[in-house]
Structures are given as structure tokens and as C-alpha cells.
Structure 1
Amino acid sequence: MTVRAGWLLPEGQTREDTRIAPVGTMAPEATLTTRDGVIAGGAGLSATGVSAMQVQIGTGRAIVQGTSVQGSYPVAVTAPVTLTVPDGHAQHPRIDVVVLRVYDTLYETAQQDAVRLEIINGTPAASPSAPSTPAAGIKLWEIAVPAGTSAGTGGISWASALTDRRRYTSAYGGIIPRGYTLSFSGSYAGQYRDSGTALERWTGSAWEPVVKPISWQPLPLPAGLTSPGHSPTQYAVHGGRVHLRGEITHTTGGMIPGGMTILNLPGSVPVPVWLHLPVGIAIVGSGPPLAALVGRNSLSLNLFPSTTAPWAIYLNGISWAAP
């Protein structure tokens, strides 16, 4: 058997069926239901056009959830399955879907207990939409079928016709991999998922990044100093530290007195420290030597002596925290 399910057949489930089908407690969706979807690993249940009107679904494993009373079915596809797409409508396009579907005679009027890969045909229309996924089934792929498409007209352009609709699941406590959509809620506080760019945690009401991004705020400069548009002076409070970045420049024509405080951080910055910080400040140009001192809410640069010479200071990489 190519497509097999655990705990479906009234008799005849083999030991091999039990070993291949995924078992154990999977990611919950409610008190008695499981998050259905594909189990990540390789290119599980991938789709490839193999002829003008045929698509092949690759091997893989998945969980298919029925009703809450019905429970969930562990499913394995152990060899590629080729499906044939019916010819297109004469006038209108349609969208077909590839589904992995369980038939259980205890809960529906199915003629046999079975699990299958199937194509469900959409309704042809000027602006077609995909058909609904049946109960005890999961959507894997959508296929755009243009009007008049057949093997005689060249068939389906598979490179553009296939849309990935696989969503993923994991074992209980595992990180749910990124699927085709992020529009789903977590089922319990402390659940994790991969958004594709960051690791997120469900708080009970929203997904939040585990490592929160740094929020940079602008820092104004005193008269006589400027900051280029490509490297503005900014600060951020992150992880209990204050971070600075940007470039400060002074061109000839105006006197900058020695010991001038060039940056004043807002009073809300919770870092009341005094630290000598000669490291991390790069001076470019013919400016004089300087010493840096980090104060409660300021960065003081002491010039020796005062100067009108051109110079630039790069703040990238400077950060400090209370001892």
C-alpha cells in the first residue's frame, strides 16, 4: 500500500504501518484536537509536474484531523503518487486542489476505510477560487488550470501553476516550522513557531519574537555638528544596555570648544553610569586627539585643543550598561 494510515483499518494494521506512520502526542489545537499538517523533513509531499496533465506527489508523512470525537490519523505516503488533472473548461479557468484525505466508515458513509491523495476540482469562473478542503483532509497544493488546457494544447505550465499550500505540524512542545501562512493562533501559552525570519512564542493572545528587535531612536546634535543621512546618530535601549550608532561630522568654519558634550540621551534611559570609553570611537580626518567619557545621560568628547579642522566620529558598536 502506497498511502497508509495508522489506527484506521478495523483489522489488518501491520507492524510496518505502525512504525512508518507518525505516532505520539502531536501539537495540540484544542483540548481534543491536533494541529494537522505535514511533518517537516526533506521535501515532504512535494509536487512535480511529470506530464502535460499529470502531477506527482512525493513521499512524506502527515497528521490528518477529523472531528474532535473522531481524533487524528497518522499518515505516511511511502512511494510517489501520480494524479491526473482533468482538462480545462472551454471558457473559464479553475483552481483544483490536491488533498490528503481519510475515509472512515465509522464517521461517514464511505464505502471503505481508506486514505488517499486526491484532486478536488474547482468551479470554472472568470475569477475562480479554490474549493473547500473536505473533512478529515488536508490541503497540500493548488493547481491553476487555464481555460481550454489539455494534453493536446500543451498541457499545464507546472512552473507557474502550482501553489504550495502545505502547512506543518510538530510533536508536542516542538517548534512548528514555517508553512504557507502565519495566520493562525497558538493553542497554549509557551508554544513556539518559526516565522521564517525569527523564533516566536505564543503569549496566550499573540505571537511575539523571542528575541525582540532593537528599536532605534533619533539623537539630535548641537549646532555646528551634523550627521549624514546614510548614517544618522541614533540610540537604543536593548537587553539592559544602551547602544549608539551613526556618524558625527564637523567641517571647517566653526569653532568646536574642548570638552563639548556632543550627545545628550533622553532622561528616561535607565543607565546611570560613568565609564571611560576610549575604545570603539573611530576618528577620521585631521582632527585632534580626543578622550571620551560616558555620563549619566551623555557622551562627552574632550578635544585637545579646540579646533576648526575637519573630522568625523563613528559611533557604531558603542554600547554600555550599569555595572
Structure 2
Amino acid sequence: MGASSASTTSPWVSNQTVTSPEARLALGASWAKQVGSSILTESGAVEGAGPGASVSGNNILVTAHQAVVEAALGTYVCTSTATMTVPLDTPIPTSGQSRYDIIYGEIVDSSDSATYRLNTVKSAASASPSIPSAPSNTVPLFRVQVTSAGPQTPVPIMSWARAPGAPRLVETGDTRNGAYIGDRRKFRDGSEDVWSGSAWQRVVAPASWSQFTPSLLTAGDASGVPVGPNGSAIGRYLVQGKSMHLRYIFKVGAGAPPAGWGDISTTLPPGITSAPIEETQILAKLNAHNPVGTLYAIWLGKCFIPPNSNQMNLYFPFSSARSDLGTYQMSSSSGGPAGTGRPLVPGGYPIPGVLVIQGTIEIS
């Protein structure tokens, strides 16, 4: 394996000598966890002074940077003041194969001095190589895929050093557990996780209600149910994880023609699909008009949503005298006479003066 090193030992006071154990004790006093607390500083690149990397032949050039290393003998604050050259192992993989190399920072300690250096660990070359892990007590910095054409562009895997209790800044691919329940980590794209005690959970922004214009559809033809010039159709929904709260309100203006025939339905908001197992049922309420446009009756029904679907099927009682449910219809057939819809409105059609659908469903 290749290695590149730079000395990190410097006196605390000009012309005075500080031994390596003394320096570790001083750093431990300022960085270590407080008594009774699990919150402590972590190893990683120093934010704002993290390195960049580029390819030069079979070498990786890592720019000057700072890092905090929690090594076996204590805490080290390391400074690289110049670009460090990290030679990758040769030979490189043959055609059709590749490997992954991890570039990491480590401490080589002696009695009165310590050296910070970069080193590599590699996976076995194959058609589908695995990604190796950096050794313990080191700081992983970059992942490099090495093919028959040589090393490819280095990918940062840096974790950032943090003061006690601060959020952990990480690159994609960081697999470390949280230090305590409520610990937070933040990625370059601004996304953030919180540690539950056993897993990282994504922190989502507070949800807000969205609105769109739904339509009442008819199975018998494509005309649907128009709301008319004095009507309206409003759909509002709020998505929280795999739950969605919704409320639809359709108002068909007085005098609107009863267009469309067959079963009447609507759909979930654009891009939303119901959960893949079992159907969902939520509340539906119909204020039906009589032939002259005034309220005839109010019916409570159901909206059934099949699994893995965006279809919302409406069911209401057959009539004021029958409480069993059937599909909501203006009329049963094209040109159906007045009084053939469901629920039954004698001498007319069950035009939705107000149709409300509301509830909470599980979504995919």
C-alpha cells in the first residue's frame, strides 16, 4: 500500500518543547466528553479545511487540510500544509475488472512526536468489487475506483470533525451510528437525519397543504359531471410520510345539466397511489338537489380506494327507503330517465349540490 506523510508536531510556546503525551492530554481536556455525557468530539476532516483530491497517473493528490484523529493513544489535531501524494498499489486491474481503494488519514506515534500520514486500503479486483472499510482509529477521506484505465475521479467520503454536541457533517456513504438519541447529521445537499437509538431517521420539513382541481368522472362516457358556471371543485391534501389527509368539495351550480352516465368516481391527487395491500374506505357525504335545484336529501356514504390505485369509487344508499350502498350514478344508462340515478331522487337526478370526500389513507 502507498503512504504519504507530513509532520504535525509543533511547540505550544515558541522555543519550548511539548511532548506527544502532554499534547494528547491537553487536547483530551478540551475535546473529550463531559462527565456523565455521551456527547464527545469525533474524528474527521475540519470543516472549511477539508481536502480535495485529483488524479495524477497512478497517484492521488490530496490538497492541504486539517483533521482531528481519535487514535488509540488519544486525540490529535493534524495539519497538512502542502499537497500530499498518495501512490496507489500496482499492478492495476485487468480489462473487465476493477477495485476500490479507500484513502484515509492515520497517526504514527512515537514517544515525543507524532506523524499524520495518508494511506490506502484496497478491495480485491473483480467484475463486481466490494468497497473496503478504513481501519479503526483512522479518518476515511476518499473512495477511488481503479480500473484497467487507472484511477477514476476520487469520491469524498469525509466525515467532519465536530465539537461536543454539534451536528455531524457527513458525506454520502457515512455508516457510523449516532452517539446518542437525538444526535443529528447533515449532508452537503442540506438533508438531515436524527439518530433514534438504533437507526438514522430522515428529518422532513413541516408538511403543508396542497391544492388542485379534481374532476368527477363517469364510467358510461367521457363527459364526466360538470360543476357548471356557478359551481366549484376543490381538492386539498397533506402528505406526511406514508399518510395522506385529504378533503374534496364538489359544488354543482343550480341549473347545471346532469351530464354523464354510469358509475361516478374521482381520483387521488396527481402522482399519489394508495397502499399496495387491501382497499381503503373514507367518508363521503352527498347533499343532493331535486329537479328544481333545491336540497332534496343528505346521504352519508363511502369512498372506496382499491390497493395500489389512484381510483376513488363512490357509494351511497339506494334511496331514502334503502340504507344498503350502491355505486353513485346520475343515471344508469345513456339518456336514462329522471329518477333512475343512485341515490334515488324522484322525478330528477342526484345532482351533487355539495359532495364532500374526506379522510386519511395510507399511500405507497
Q: Give me the TM-score of the superposition, normalised by structure 2.
A: 0.48
Which of 166, 170, 174 is 1:178 aligned to? 170
1:138 deviates by 1.6
Contact 1:190 1:201 in 2 (8 A): yes
Which of 57, 65, 72 is 2:62 aligned to? 57
- 2:98 corresponds in structure 1 to 93
Alignment of 1:58-77 (within 5 A): 58-67=63-72, 70-77=73-80
CA displacement 1:137-181 (0-9 Å, x = unmatched): 12211222223x4xxxxx44x34xx23221223111212123223
Contact 2:157 2:174 in 1 (8 A): no
Per the alignment, in what secondary structure is the counterpart of residue 97 of structure 1?
A: strand
- Cα distance in 2 for partners of 1:139, 1:38 equals 9
- 1:168 corresponds in structure 2 to 160
Per the alignment, in what secondary structure is the counterpart of residue 169 of structure 1?
A: coil
- Cα distance in 2 for partners of 1:63, 1:117 equals 13
Alignment of 1:179-258 (within 5 A): 179-181=171-173, 183-195=175-187, 196-208=189-201, 213-214=206-207, 233-236=235-238, 248=250, 250=252, 252-253=257-258, 257=289
- 1:79 matched to 2:82? The reply is yes
1:190 deviates by 3.5
- Cα distance in 1 for partners of 2:128, 2:257 equals 65
- Cα distance in 2 for partners of 1:265, 1:172 equals 55
Contact 1:93 1:146 in 2 (8 A): yes
Unaligned 5+ runs, structure 2: 219-223, 227-232, 260-286, 304-350, 357-364
Per the alignment, in what secondary structure is the counterpart of residue 181 of structure 2?
A: coil
- 1:45 matched to 2:51? The reply is yes
Contact 1:64 1:102 in 2 (8 A): yes
Unaligned 5+ runs, structure 1: 150-154, 267-307, 314-323
- Cα distance in 2 for partners of 1:170, 1:262 equals 61
- Cα distance in 2 for partners of 1:262, 1:73 equals 74
The structure carrying a bigger strand percent of its residues is 2
Question: Per the alignment, do residues 7 and 136 of structure 1 end up closer, same or farther by CA in structure 2, a change over 3 Å counting?
Answer: farther
Amino acid at match of 1:194: K
- Cα distance in 2 for partners of 1:261, 1:3 equals 82
1:103 deviates by 0.9
- Cα distance in 2 for partners of 1:165, 1:34 equals 18
Per the alignment, in what secondary structure is the counterpart of residue 116 of structure 1?
A: strand
Contact 2:19 2:113 in 1 (8 A): no
**Number of positions where the alignment pairs a residue of Structure 1 with one of Structure 2:** 243
Which structure is larger by alpha-carbon Rg, 1 or 2? 2
Contact 1:178 1:193 in 2 (8 A): yes
1:12 deviates by 5.4
Question: Per the alignment, do residues 261 and 188 of structure 1 end up closer, same or farther by CA in structure 2, a change over 3 Å counting?
Answer: farther
Question: Per the alignment, do residues 129 and 112 of structure 1 end up closer, same or farther by CA in structure 2, a change over 3 Å counting?
Answer: farther
Contact 1:226 1:248 in 2 (8 A): no
1:73 deviates by 1.7
- 1:146 matched to 2:147? The reply is yes
Per the alignment, in what secondary structure is the counterpart of residue 134 of structure 1?
A: coil
Amino acid at match of 1:84: P
Amino acid at match of 2:78: V
- Cα distance in 1 for partners of 2:195, 2:90 equals 44
- Cα distance in 1 for partners of 2:65, 2:53 equals 11
Question: Per the alignment, do residues 166 and 248 of structure 1 end up closer, same or farther by CA in structure 2, a change over 3 Å counting?
Answer: farther
- 2:136 corresponds in structure 1 to 135
Contact 1:26 1:169 in 2 (8 A): no
Contact 2:28 2:74 in 1 (8 A): no
1:23 deviates by 9.4
Amino acid at match of 2:165: G
1:247 deviates by 7.5
Question: Per the alignment, do residues 226 and 117 of structure 1 end up closer, same or farther by CA in structure 2, a change over 3 Å counting?
Answer: farther
Question: Per the alignment, do residues 22 and 128 of structure 1 end up closer, same or farther by CA in structure 2, a change over 3 Å counting?
Answer: farther
Contact 1:168 1:177 in 2 (8 A): yes
